[in-house]
Structure 1
Amino acid sequence: MNDNVVAESGARLPLLSRLRWAALVASVFAASCTAPCANSEAGDEQGLRETSPALRTAHEARANEAAAVAIMPLGDSITHGAGSSTTSSYRAELWQRMVGLAGYPIDFVGSQRDGQLPDIDHEGHSGWRIDQIAAKIDGWLATSKPQIVLLHIGTNDMNQNYQVGTAPDRLNALIDQILAGAPGATVVVAQVVPALDGAINGRIATFNAAIPGIVQSKVAQGKRVRMVDMFHALSNADLADTLHPNDSGYAKMASLWYASLERILADGREWPHVVTGLEAGQTAPAWLDTVEASTNVGGYPCCGLTRMESSPRNELAHGGVSALMYSGSDKSASGPSYSYNRVFDVHIPISTDTVLSYWIYPQQANGTFVALDFAMTDGSNLRDSGVVDQFGARVHPQFQGEGKHLAVNQWNLVRANLGRLAGKTIDRIHLGYDQPANTGAYRGYVDDIRIVDTPAP
């Protein structure tokens, strides 16, 4: 399928509101600006080099805002944020990923203001259909001048059973209208999220089935249009009510918008999906000491433990002060012994240039039979995929230990290109122990986990 049609998905950092940030910049200038400051503002590079670090930071902040990419979240109540605990829709998570994780300056634009994030502008209108958006879009585009439009619309046409048969035609015309009103902009069109009501969901499925053809026709005409599949990404568990996602559903939507923006904004930079050293403010485990599947593995021989552990500790770290500690006890030397623990809840589409890396510190030989593992949305996993690390050893706990390249009582880097899994989506990140031959205790740490897209230079 054409790459322009296929969907292409984090550390969570504390957020400042845009007003607080503007006030901060203003206060820095007020406190720091003396006579040479005027020269710096006028572009005197020598003057800028001689100013204080705080002043240079303020200059950089102003430069970032000027360079921000204008993105219009456009649609109905799902864009507005119905079902979200903060009325932030996917916008808060997307902002965090773009700015806090990728370090990419963006500016959400639109006439509406809702949610709890630094940039609350959007163009989400509760209850609106495609025709109602089309009636107002020209004015919004003229005012906001977006460079990218994230379009999720059609849910209310299906919910209201409003001229369902011609809804794809209305969507097609709306896309053309957006492209005419914002020349040079890119429109990312969503196959809309599912509904809990069977009749409504059936209409949504039929509507969504027409969208790839619409997008392909635009691409064939040389227009900047892409598509993301929200329909199959969300399950019933991701819905707060009949029509609207809950927070986990909105997080999945954000991951898909985020992945699509990588391909649109591609400028050679690394595009991170998960970067965490288990530090405060970074991506934290969704599960602690939670076994997904286990046999012949018990707890570390102390403290009455009965199963494998997997949780952050501050005892030893590769960077910072925290790392993910693992421990357990292998009970069988004659049969399979394994434990795969759930750790992170994610939604990461894998592309040809996605790379996994992490550091591991095993404290015994048994502790080298440990590796990160993925559960994919299609039911497959990383350990059985054949993906190998930089030493040619499979990224499977058993083969990591048998490879003999992980040294005990020191930090070891494991790095693997995931390109052969392109097109799959990571649903959960597990930590696994797997060894068929030996018994005994094992313990160690994993730190500085990264899943990033690394475009070739």
Structure 2
Amino acid sequence: MIHMKALFAAGLIATGLGVASHASADPLKILTVGDSITAGVGSTHGAGYRLPLQNLLLGAGVDFEFVGTQSGPGTPVPTLSNSSPMQTAHEGYPGARINAGSNSLFDHLGFDWVSNAPVTDNTVFDTLAANGDTPDVILLMIGTNDFNPTTSTNINPQHFALRQLLMGLEAELSDPAYANTKLLIAQIIDKPGALNNGSSEADKDKVRIGNDNIDTFNNTIMPNEIAGRSTAFQNATTMIAMPTVAQWVTDINYLSGGNPETTQIANLTYMDPDGIHPNDTGYNVMAQTWFGAIDSIGLIPEPGTAVLLMAGTMLLASRRKKIV
């Protein structure tokens, strides 16, 4: 009888059911990192994509814990689909740039730059590890505040800032405490906000150039910088595409060769009227994108996995009682 129980347990675990490491043990710890989009500016509930993402995780039967040194939104804390308060920990800093000025993510995370190399002593990551909150996955989206309407296509400062940040993250992920941590880096969304009806053609040209710079950052600089890091960092990192302007808004004729005067900012479908932050609908799209990315790296148990594990545990307990 004992032999049969052992075979049952081994078969349940090894049948290729897609059982994630978090299906039955510790909760999946998630660290969201970025700027005001991570904090949730533009959403009616103030939690941005984090609220719908937590609901998606609940629906998938994932035991999760959001970690971070920041907290928000405040009172009243939004409730999840199961009527419990959402988890508010995060690492989002409104207005933050990658690594420029006093409000930089590089600084907020506790990094320093000395002799062309990052210094990673006493960082947010050290604090989390010391508190037993080492994340299993980091969701990073940063760079929106580094791009504005412009007449210049020179984005070398943004390029170097990203390199510095990735080098700092690379150093952190090489810490044994972060040996199993995965990093998801999202491309940033375009910023059509300045294209209001009545704006001058010169101003609209600046917005177009600014968005072209974002595209270069997303599609060339970001993947090349990730590829330039260590093999271990590359293996831990996945770059994901967030919906861009063509998908976030409707009737953006001025970005596809049409008459810019016919399009008003009110046509923005998935974004706040400021044309920079998503609205609730846009944040729902972002949540679905993050959820899909987390699933793609094997951290979401397949449907039924939790039920099978529970059934197996109950069966083993039942047989144990019969033996006694």
Q: Which TM class, normalised by the smaller chain length? A: 0.5 to 0.7
Q: Shift of residue 181 of structure 1? A: 1.9
**Are 1:70 and 2:70 counterparts?**
no
TM score, norm. by length of structure 1: 0.42
Alignment deviations for residues 265-312 of structure 1 (CA, whole Å, 9 cap, x no partner): 34762399xxxxxxxxxxxxxxxxxxxxxxxxxxxxxxxxxxxxxxxx
Aligned to 1:419: none
Letter in 2 for 1:96: N
Residues 104 and 87 (structure 1 numbering): CA distance in 2 closer, same or farther, change over 3 Å?
A: same
Aligned to 1:143: 127
Letter in 2 for 1:113: S
- Structure 1: 5+ residue runs without aligned partners? 1-62, 273-457
The within-5 A match list for 1:232-381 is 232=244, 233-235=247-249, 236-240=268-272, 241-266=274-299, 269-270=302-303
More strand by share: 1
Alignment deviations for residues 57-94 of structure 1 (CA, whole Å, 9 cap, x no partner): xxxxxx99971122111000010111111111100010
Letter in 1 for 2:87: D
Q: Which of 143, 153, 166 does residue 142 from structure 2 map onto? A: 153
More helix by share: 2
Alignment deviations for residues 320-351 of structure 1 (CA, whole Å, 9 cap, x no partner): xxxxxxxxxxxxxxxxxxxxxxxxxxxxxxxx
Q: Which of 102, 105, 122 does residue 60 from structure 2 map onto? A: 102
**Are 1:91 and 2:53 counterparts?**
no
Aligned to 1:309: none
Q: Shift of residue 264 of structure 1? A: 2.1
Letter in 2 for 1:127: G
Alignment deviations for residues 80-135 of structure 1 (CA, whole Å, 9 cap, x no partner): 1111111111000100101x211111111112211325201111101010111112
Alignment deviations for residues 136-192 of structure 1 (CA, whole Å, 9 cap, x no partner): 314211122322111110011113879832313322331231232243221111110
Is the contact between residue 94 and residue 255 of structure 1 (CA under 8 Å) also seen in structure 2? yes
Residues 133 and 271 (structure 1 numbering): CA distance in 2 closer, same or farther, change over 3 Å?
A: farther
Q: Shift of residue 219 of structure 1? A: 7.6
Aligned pair count reads 209
Residues 257 and 218 (structure 1 numbering): CA distance in 2 closer, same or farther, change over 3 Å?
A: farther
Is the contact between residue 98 and residue 105 of structure 2 (CA under 8 Å) also seen in structure 1? yes
Residues 101 and 246 (structure 1 numbering): CA distance in 2 closer, same or farther, change over 3 Å?
A: same
Is the contact between residue 141 and residue 178 of structure 1 (CA under 8 Å) also seen in structure 2? no
Alignment deviations for residues 362-392 of structure 1 (CA, whole Å, 9 cap, x no partner): xxxxxxxxxxxxxxxxxxxxxxxxxxxxxxx
- Residue 147 of structure 2: SS of its match in structure 1? helix
**Are 1:167 and 2:158 counterparts?**
yes
**Are 1:124 and 2:100 counterparts?**
no
Aligned to 2:240: 228
Aligned to 1:22: none
Please give the alpha-carbon distance, in whole angstroms, between the structure 1 residues aligned to 2:269 and 2:229. 34
Please give the alpha-carbon distance, in whole angstroms, between the structure 2 residues aligned to 1:88 and 1:268. 25
TM score, norm. by length of structure 2: 0.58
Is the contact between residue 270 and residue 280 of structure 2 (CA under 8 Å) also seen in structure 1? yes
Letter in 2 for 1:238: Y
- The RMSD of aligned alpha carbons is 2.8
Higher relative contact order (CA 8 A, sep 6+): 2
Please give the alpha-carbon distance, in whole angstroms, between the structure 2 residues aligned to 1:249 and 1:159. 21
The within-5 A match list for 1:438-449 is none
Q: Shift of residue 229 of structure 1? A: 0.8
Please give the alpha-carbon distance, in whole angstroms, between the structure 1 residues aligned to 2:142 and 2:27. 25
Percent of paired sites with the same residue: 28
- Residue 175 of structure 1: SS of its match in structure 2? helix
Is the contact between residue 170 and residue 229 of structure 2 (CA under 8 Å) also seen in structure 1? no
Please give the alpha-carbon distance, in whole angstroms, between the structure 2 residues aligned to 1:230 and 1:219. 25
